[in-house]
Chain A
Amino acid sequence: AQTVTQSQPEMSVQEAETVTLSCTYDTSESNYYLFWYKQPPSRQMILVIRQEAYKQQNATENRFSVNFQKAAKSFSLKISDSQLGDTAMYFCAFRGTSGSRLTFGEGTQLTVNP
């Protein structure tokens, strides 16, 4: 079974600064997808970024980028130029090819301070 671990329950950052959220996972599969989802107080999960395990190049979406280290099974999210609207719960998630479910980590509550 896959597991996803987020070791930072809470993080804070000043507006316009950069913050990195950590995620590690465990799997025996060689091919899979990794995701970062954002969950604001509205409760709706919003996809931030995703990474295909067979692609060595790290994914980037505007201010969001990942550092994917396949050998270390690490998948961190970097948010540049943090904005107040980035305040939310962030979840790392794993999806393998042997099943269809997403497995989520425990989440990191990010607060962006003015």
Chain B
Amino acid sequence: GAGVSQTPSNKVTEKGKYVELRCDPISGHTALYWYRQSLGQGPEFLIYFQGTGAADDSGLPNDRFFAVRPEGSVSTLKIQRTERGDSAVYLCASSPQTGWPGELFFGEGSRLTVL
């Protein structure tokens, strides 16, 4: 597809379960970002990949959150032992270049609801 694709669009899970959220960036984009957006708030940075490596993971809230991008394309955000506070929309974005001044292209997000 032409844009950033995120699956699933919606995910409902129970407290304590494990979830995976997938992001398929625009072909050829080397940079990939994950953001979390709580209801009524602006997106908060989680992690940024340049190629296969996490260049900046300082936004991950705790060690229950982990993300990978093994081949430098698709990325998976993994959340262990989910908590109700993890409920949010998780946005993925990609960029054709790093640093300055690349524009970010966003997907439609994955809405996670933890019951």
A residues contacting B by CB (< 8 A) are 4, 6, 31, 33, 42-47, 50, 52, 91, 95, 97, 99-107
Task: Name the residue in A33, A44, A52 with the highest tally of chain B Cβ atoms < 10 Å from its Cβ.
Answer: A44
| CB of B89 within 8 Å of the partner chain | yes
Q: Would you give the shortest CB distance from A66 to chain B, in whole angstroms?
A: 15
Contacts of A52 in B (CB 8 A): 101
Chain A at the B interface: mostly helix, strand, loop or mixed?
A: loop
- Range for the number of chain B residues in contact with chain A: 20 to 34
- Are A106 and B42 touching (Cβ within 8 A)? yes
CB distance from B69 to the nearest CB of A (A): 15
Question: Which partner residue on chain A sits nearest B109 by CB separation?
Answer: A43
B50 to chain A, nearest CB (A): 8
Evaluate contact between A97 and B99: CB separation under 8 angstroms: yes
| Binary contact track B80-115/A, C-beta < 8 Å → 1, others 0 | 000000000101010000111111101111010000
Cα–Cα distance between A62 and B90 once the two chains are bound (Å):
31
Whether A47 contacts B103 by the Cβ 8 Å rule is yes
Give the distance in Å from the alpha carbon of A11 to the alpha carbon of B108 in the complex.
Answer: 24
Contact B89 A104 (CB under 8 A): no
Residues of B within 8 A of A33 (CB): 100-101
How many angstroms from the CA of A47 to the CA of B103 in the assembled complex?
A: 8
* Known contacts A44-B106, A47-B103, A50-B103: A101-B45 contact under CB 8 Å: yes
